[in-house]
Amino acid sequence: MFLLPEAMERVWLMRARGMREIEIARELGVSRQAVNKALRDARVKLFEAFFGLAEVFSWEIVRVNAEKGFMVARGRCLGRSVRVYAFYIPGKGLRAFFEGDFPDYVLGHAVELGIIDEPDREKLINALES
């Protein structure tokens, strides 16, 4: 299972929630350069994980956002084209869902990261697609 290292995940999550690098550095008591480095590394790891996932399942990549940790892709299921939405959920790793069939914890995660302002499936699809 793919998981970011704990410290890196913490920094990434704080940034994904909208905190600035300088605020994260102050909160964690580290330098801003260390935060910047951790964020760069986290983004590369997330890209690597999402691209790898798409490669394994032969999905066509539509959008990968390493800041908020999600991917939109196009795949084929039973001969028809389907939309795939994948998320990096802290502590759980990568989770992929077909055609926006999101469980509540994903909606909660999207609200927490500011992707949407309320846990609504349609709103989340719109936010991911536009």
| Chosen residue from 13, 72, 110, 113 binding other proteins by CB under 8 A | 72
Q: Is 66 in the site for other proteins (CB under 8 A)?
A: yes
Q: For the chain, how big is the Rg over CA atoms in Å? A: 15
Q: Which of 45, 84, 86, 106 binds other proteins (CB under 8 A)?
A: 45
Query: By CB under 8 A, is residue 67 in contact with other proteins?
Result: yes
Q: How far is the CB of 21 from other proteins (least distance, A)?
A: 9
Among 13, 25, 64, 86, binds other proteins (CB under 8 A): 64
Q: Is 51 in the site for other proteins (CB under 8 A)?
A: yes
Cα–Cα distance for residue pair 104/24, rounded to 1 Å: 28
Gap between the Cα atoms of 65 and 47, Å rounded: 8
Contact 82, 75 (CB under 8 A): yes
Return d(Cα 116, Cα 118) in angstroms, integer.
6
> In angstroms, rounded to a whole number, what is the distance separating the alpha carbons of residues 69 and 67?
6
| Residue ranges binding other proteins (CB under 8 A) | 5-8, 11, 30, 34, 37-38, 40-41, 43-45, 47-48, 51-52, 54-55, 60-67, 72, 74, 126, 129-130
